[in-house]
Chains A and B, each alone.
Chain A
Amino acid sequence: GAGVSQSPSNKVTEKGKDVELRCDPISGHTALYWYRQSLGQGLEFLIYFQGNSAPDKSGLPSDRFSAERTGGSVSTLTIQRTQQEDSAVYLCASSLEGVQAKNIQYFGAGTRLSVL
Chain B
Amino acid sequence: GNSVTQMEGPVTLSEEAFLTINCTYTATGYPSLFWYVQYPGEGLQLLLKATKADDKGSNKGFEATYRKETTSFHLEKGSVQVSDSAVYFCALTSNTGFQKLVFGTGTRLLVSP
Interface segment among B18-26, B45-53, B73-81: the answer is B45-53
State whether A107 touches B99 (Cβ < 8 A).
Answer: no
State whether B100 touches A109 (Cβ < 8 A).
Answer: no
How many residues of chain A get a CB closer than 8 Å to chain B's CBs? 29
Classify chain B: how many residues form its interface, as a range: 20 to 34
Whole-angstrom distance between the Cβ of A99 and the nearest chain B Cβ:
6
Interface segment among A13-21, A40-48, A68-76, A79-87: the answer is A40-48
* Interface 0/1 of A45-85, CB less than 8 Å to B: 10010100001100100000000000000000000000000
State whether B49 touches A109 (Cβ < 8 A).
Answer: no
Q: Which residue of A lies closest to B99 (CB)?
A: A98
Distance A91 CA – B89 CA, assembled complex (angstroms): 14
Interfacial chain A residues near B44, Cβ < 8 Å? 91, 93, 107
Q: Which residue of A lies closest to B91 (CB)?
A: A43
Q: Which of B48-100 touch A at CB < 8 Å?
A: 49, 51, 89, 91, 93, 95, 97-100
Distance A110 CA – B95 CA, assembled complex (angstroms): 26
State whether A101 touches B97 (Cβ < 8 A).
Answer: no
14 A–B contacts, CB within 8 A, in A order: A4-B43, A42-B104, A42-B105, A42-B106, A43-B103, A45-B102, A93-B44, A99-B97, A101-B32, A101-B93, A101-B95, A102-B32, A104-B46, A109-B42
Q: A42-B104, A42-B105 are in contact. List 12 more A-B contacts (CB 8 A).
A: A33-B100, A43-B91, A43-B101, A45-B101, A48-B100, A56-B98, A93-B44, A100-B99, A101-B51, A101-B99, A103-B99, A107-B36
